Structure 1
Amino acid sequence: MTGPTLVLLHGVGLDHTVWEPVTALLSDRFTVLAPDLPGHGSRPPAPAGITLADLADGVADEIPAGAHLVGFSLGALVAQYLAVHRPELVASLTSVSSVCQRTPQERAAVLARLDTAAADVAASSEASLHRWYDGTDVDDEQIARTKATLLANDPDSFVNCYRVFATGDAEIGPELHRITAPALAVTGELDPGSTPAMTTRLAAAIPGCEAVIIPGARHMLPVQCPHELAEALSAFFGKFIGGYPRV
């Protein structure tokens, strides 16, 4: 498929396969790329001290100029960094299930989860699965796939990238006003971490950013609500790219 290029960036501990349900809905209208972030998938483990800038630099060469970036969770922070520091790459920015300017209480909660991950990756992964999927209608096979992906991570690499996720919003938050690309922020109504309040903050911080809250959804929008997410993306793109109606 030739057409506008859509670059999908995944969350911490996941890989490009998290985007498969969304890719299936959009690949007829877009050239879809879903590169793995450094330290994820088949890429080498992320070293201690890796930064948000390192993660962004590690994927920038795979992004053609003028792409539409859609980042999920950690991938959203990476996409925001690129929109600030490599604006020539970013025709539009969509932040899916993104944290933003955590409060002290929210920061303490994520640092506690980081401590759990550093002590016991398996326990951390199990807790994440409950936070992401409890109360949803996502099937057991998909949950098992997510669990297998989490457990396949190099433990040190996972913690190194999780640390970026836990602290990266404080780094990029003061820079969000510099983003000039059209922007959209999407999260689930019931997301316990990337909350609707955070999406409201994000929309306020990025000039002209729209906010969409998907009713009844939790954190894993690409697999829990691919149709709703694809529809939100299509509506957003339709405002400045002709010929791409809602799905």
Structure 2
Amino acid sequence: MNHTNEYLKQSPSDHNNTSSKPSVIFIHGIGLNSFLWEPLWSYLSNKYNIIVYNLPGHGLEPEPSSPITWNSLCRQVISIIDLSIINKFHLVGHGIGANLAIKIALYCPERIESLNLISLSGFNRSAYLQREMEEQTHLIENIDRTELVEHLIPSLTVNYKRPDVHSLIRDALHHVSSSSYIQLLKLIADNNTIHDLASLTQPTLMLSGEKDPVYTPVISAINSSYIEKGRFFIVPNASNLTFLDQPEWTAYWLKNHIDSTVPEAPDFSSITSDPMVHSLHKGIHTVDRTFQVKQILKVQLLHKFQVSVNGIEITDGWNKRLAKKLLLYLLLSPNTTREQLYDDLWPDSELRKAQNYLRVCLNHLKLLLGQHSDRFEFLHIDREHITIRGTIRCDLLELIKDLDEAVQEQDEETKESRIYQVWRKLPNHILSGYVDDWILGTRERIEEQLSQLAQWMESRSKLSNHSQMMSLKLSRHPNHDQFQENKEAIMN
């Protein structure tokens, strides 16, 4: 069976009659390949026209010659779909494949009929996840991937001791390109998953394994709350690879969502013979979140500080109890942990004092944001995590997104247009007045990207006077005395 990206999987009886079937594109997770989807085919192949996509440097796909970006991945997937003469389609993604499915939905929204996200990847930039990323980067560079396999596999499947499952995952990891793996890992780490989810307009299903130790059902449920037309289900007795651990359950929810109808309940008897577990599985926990009324939190940070909830400005209380700083932190890390907040906001305080400070500051911020919110809570607080949710509109986040897109853009004319769009949003000073390491890192990243774009513009300076002027302006530090004068010159 050929699993390159030109592979179109059809049932033999309908080989020449796929046009009437819904088309479904499957995108696997990092370090894996399309072979891992095979347990689903017996449930899906007769009903859908299936295309499987291999990430660059995975499976039989070669390592790309150019850097991997979200835009390059989107273009590659769309080009493969276009070869199959398919206009509209459904997307199923696992891990970073789910992140890519979201990017494709934002890239060409008119062509996506539904999204199906399994164990969606999303870093909250905690110290733990940063260490995990560094550990995987180190292990993938070893020629012998045995240590990486043993490090990852217990968190991927409940059946990791089964020889056939272990072999399948081991073979996938042994054949992945280390360069592609590291580039994709960085894409996940730098991605604003919450912003992407809040931007979706397509019907979206999110599945989480009951026993996933990393992207737990609690985290996935919180993430799903950002989706306007979202549904969330927990797959019982499954870890991260739900389609390996429970292919029948996974296929059932996929068909349910893709068909937009509620079919008859599946036969649970084949899942387990234990009567008690059988009963528990029938009572699977589900959360169906479809927002009827959007709660909008608008925050301006670049040219002035202003916060409004549902169009009503909140003017008082921001100079107390670190309200501004805490809000900025949560906007940049919308799903963070208490421990990370202790370390970043009160690094020199004893743990008990830091806990008290955080409790007081969170209560104050929660009261501020609770004004005019129709009793909707923008802050979700539990014993471990603090999450900001709802529809968030923030000029700083938009600038960061525009910068990322400008840096990644490959088409020269589009890139220049994106750079000009970035320029129009730049303030006189970027995040001035903040001296904490966590915010300095964000500012340095913005300035580094601006410098990178300036160098690119300089390389095109002979092509047009406009390019030359843009290069000169962007190359100046945002805090330079001539910044405003230069900005006005180029905008006129």
Q: Would you identify which runs of 4 or more consecutive aligned residues in structure 1 move more than 6 Å?
A: none
2:477 maps to: none
Larger CA deviation: 35-44 vs 207-216: 35-44
Cα distance between partner residues in 2 of 1:148 and 1:8: 19
Cα distance between partner residues in 2 of 1:83 and 1:107: 27
2:248 maps to: 227
1:92 maps to: 114
1:197 maps to: 218
TM alignment of 1:103-122, pairs within 5 A? 104-105=126-127, 107-120=129-142, 122=145
1:147 maps to: 170
* Contact persistence 1:37–1:59 (CA under 8 A): no
Query: CA shift at 1:127, angstroms?
Result: 0.9
Query: CA shift at 1:192, angstroms?
Result: 1.7
2:156 maps to: 132
Query: CA shift at 1:22, angstroms?
Result: 0.9
- Calculate percent identity across the aligned residue pairs: 23
String of CA shifts for 1:167-212, please: whole Å, max 9, x gaps: 33x2x43132221111000010111222212311321111120111
Query: CA shift at 1:12, angstroms?
Result: 0.8
Kindly name which structure, 1 or 2, has the bigger radius of gyration based on alpha carbons.
2
- SS of the counterpart of 1:32? strand
* Contact persistence 1:46–1:160 (CA under 8 A): no
Cα distance between partner residues in 2 of 1:60 and 1:196: 31
Cα distance between partner residues in 2 of 1:96 and 1:161: 17
- SS of the counterpart of 1:205? coil
From the superposition, tell whether residues 237 and 41 of structure 1 become closer, same or farther in structure 2 (CA, over 3 Å): same
Gaps of 5+ in 2: 1-13, 267-492
Query: CA shift at 1:48, angstroms?
Result: 7.2
1:56 maps to: 74
Query: CA shift at 1:106, angstroms?
Result: 5.5
* Contact persistence 1:13–1:150 (CA under 8 A): yes
Cα distance between partner residues in 2 of 1:234 and 1:166: 31
Higher relative contact order, structure no. (Cα contacts within 8 Å, ≥ 6 residues apart)? 1
Larger CA deviation: 66-75 vs 138-147: 138-147
Cα distance between partner residues in 1 of 2:218 and 2:65: 32
- SS of the counterpart of 2:93? strand
Amino acid at match of 1:187: S
Cα distance between partner residues in 2 of 1:126 and 1:47: 30
Amino acid at match of 1:236: H
Cα distance between partner residues in 2 of 1:47 and 1:189: 39
* Contact persistence 2:160–2:166 (CA under 8 A): no
RMSD after superposition? 2.4
From the superposition, tell whether residues 98 and 106 of structure 1 become closer, same or farther in structure 2 (CA, over 3 Å): farther
Query: Is 2:203 the counterpart of 1:185?
Result: no
Cα distance between partner residues in 1 of 2:120 and 2:264: 25
Query: Is 2:29 the counterpart of 1:29?
Result: no
Cα distance between partner residues in 2 of 1:222 and 1:65: 27
Gaps of 5+ in 1: none
Work out which of the residue numbers 184, 194, 200 in structure 2 matches 1:173. Answer: 194
Amino acid at match of 1:180: T
* Contact persistence 2:119–2:209 (CA under 8 A): yes
String of CA shifts for 1:4-51, please: whole Å, max 9, x gaps: 011111011111111111122101111111121222222221457422
From the superposition, tell whether residues 46 and 198 of structure 1 become closer, same or farther in structure 2 (CA, over 3 Å): farther
TM-score (norm. length: structure 1): 0.87
Cα distance between partner residues in 2 of 1:138 and 1:228: 21
Q: How many residues end up aligned between the 2 structures?
A: 242
From the superposition, tell whether residues 118 and 166 of structure 1 become closer, same or farther in structure 2 (CA, over 3 Å): farther
TM alignment of 1:198-213, pairs within 5 A? 198-213=219-234
2:182 maps to: 159
